[in-house]
Amino acid sequence: MSRTSIIALLIFGAILGYFLSFGADSTRKFQAGVYQLIAPFLSSGSGLQKQITSVRSGLKSLEDLERENTALRVENRELRATNQGLRDVEHEVNRLRHALNYRERSVFKLVPAVIVARDSSTWWHTVTINRGKEDGIESDMAVVTDEGLVGKTTTVGTNISLVLLVSDENCKVAASVEGTREQGIVSGERVTSGLTPFLNLKFLSKQADLKPGQKAYTSGVGGVFPSGLPIGVVKSFRVRELDGQAQLTPAVELSHLEDVFVVTGRK
């Protein structure tokens, strides 16, 4: 091995040792710094992705039109395409109006945020939002939509934050089940095979006997998540050796999220 290679290896070892010595706080600061650095790229990428998706869906509807209405004239096709464009705008207006209504009627102080990126890794379920310290966001704040709980913030940069989704195994939420006195802890699954992840509600009593369709809400224990937020709906219940466990379908469709709210306090 040449002298240059040995020196390179020593420098590499020193830098590696330096990074391995990082604690939680240093890691969080470093991560926030890197995310801050790439925030403009994520925002631009998110915009580009939306445009591509829009073009793709537009092409799809044209294909459908061609199949179903071969006899229609070109002028008619143009009118339909324009109509499709207007429907997209209408959908966007409705979505934003819906979000605005929720913000006004909610008992919480909510900061609206847009998801700019989804997790790129296999084992972690996170999303990146375009709000950060500048907007009053801190670590461990609940993230919701009008449908229910989405997750909580972890690393927070100046104007970008990471949200740990409720479908992640590391996101643990104290929950209660409607119509019962049952309380338990909800967490995600380590591995999901379909587009829709399921949640596990553990540490219930063996006699709980939950029925499909019953709703689970945050109980407020622990302080991170305010009480009363819908988490999911019971899909099945089984008795284990020491406790009862229910499988929940999340209240929020996590794979199609676009807008979320960060709970910064009560009104």
Partner 1 sequence: MIFFLILLALVFIAQIAEFFIPALPWLYNAHIYIVPLIVFYGAMALPFPLMLALALYAGILLDALTVQVVGARVEISLGWSILLYAVLAGIMHGLRPLFIRGRWEVHCVLSGICTSAIILAQYLMITFRRGSLFFSREVWWQIGGPGLIAMLMAPIIFWLLQWMGRITAYPYLPEGNRFE
The candidate with the shortest Cα–Cα distance to 140, out of 154, 124, 159, is 154
Q: How far is CA 117 from the centre of its chain?
A: 10
Task: Judge whether 182 and 248 are in contact, CB under 8 Å.
Answer: no
For residues 180 and 203, give the distance between their C-alpha atoms in angstroms, rounded to a whole number.
14
Give per-residue burial for 183-205: e unless 16+ CB within 10 Å, then b: bbbbbbeeeeeeeebbbebbbbe
For residues 121 and 129, give the distance between their C-alpha atoms in angstroms, rounded to a whole number.
17
> Least distance in Å: CB of 144 to partner 1?
19
Task: Judge whether 140 and 225 are in contact, CB under 8 Å.
Answer: no
Token output for 42: 């994520």
> Least distance in Å: CB of 188 to partner 1?
11
Residues that bind partner 1 (CB under 8 A): 1-2, 4-5, 7-9, 12, 15-17, 19-20, 22-24, 27-28, 30-31, 34-35, 38, 41-42, 45-46, 48-49, 117-124, 126, 128, 140, 154-155, 164, 168-171, 190-195
Task: Judge whether 109 and 265 are in contact, CB under 8 Å.
Answer: yes
Residue with tokens 């209240």: 251
> Least distance in Å: CB of 108 to partner 1?
22
Between residues 11 and 72, which has the closer beta carbon with respect to partner 1? 11
> Least distance in Å: CB of 158 to partner 1?
16
Between residues 117 and 210, which has the closer beta carbon with respect to partner 1? 117
> Least distance in Å: CB of 90 to partner 1?
26
> Least distance in Å: CB of 96 to partner 1?
23
Between residues 88 and 140, which has the closer beta carbon with respect to partner 1? 140
CB atoms closer than 10 angstroms to residue 145:
21
Between residues 47 and 213, which has the closer beta carbon with respect to partner 1? 47
Between residues 55 and 79, which has the closer beta carbon with respect to partner 1? 55
Between residues 142 and 177, which has the closer beta carbon with respect to partner 1? 142
For residues 17 and 14, give the distance between their C-alpha atoms in angstroms, rounded to a whole number.
5
